[in-house]
Structure 1
Amino acid sequence: MPRRVMQGTIVSDKGDKTVVVQVERTYLHPLLKKTVRRSAKFHAHDEANAFKTGEKVEIQECPPKSKLKRWEVVGRVGA
């Protein structure tokens, strides 16, 4: 089964080897036909502590690394 890949913004890098990534998605409301924004936060593994708050990154699913971490940072998005 392929691993899911998402893009988001780092909102916290306070944990050791951990970053919190906020992923926003937009969809059309089925009844109101209005575009709705939803966001979710994911704890992702950052082995080298290389990423800082505010950066746009790509994360992908991985086997569980701790109680909350089921994602790992793949790399930066854009330049």
Structure 2
Amino acid sequence: MLKYKIDVYDALQRKGFTTYKAKTTNLLSQNTLNKIKNEDTAITLKALNAVCNILEMQPGQLLEYVRDEEDEKKLKEL
């Protein structure tokens, strides 16, 4: 399972990226911003690219992979 290493929503806010900017710049959709706020990592690569651009970070600085029970089960089914 992918997890955020940092509070991405907070980092975006500190960079001045608000819901208003999401609406006016079209860099991130409101839906994507809500996912990030709720720590949902199911965002598109286009959105991840935008987040990396805004925060001036690499994807590996934002995300990490942590194996959970569901991943373990899928691995055993291979």
TM band (smaller chain): under 0.3
What TM-score do you get using the length of structure 1 for normalisation?
A: 0.25
What TM-score do you get using the length of structure 2 for normalisation?
A: 0.25
Q: Kindly indicate which of the two structures has a greater share of residues assigned to strand.
A: 1
Q: Kindly indicate which of the two structures has a greater share of residues assigned to helix.
A: 2
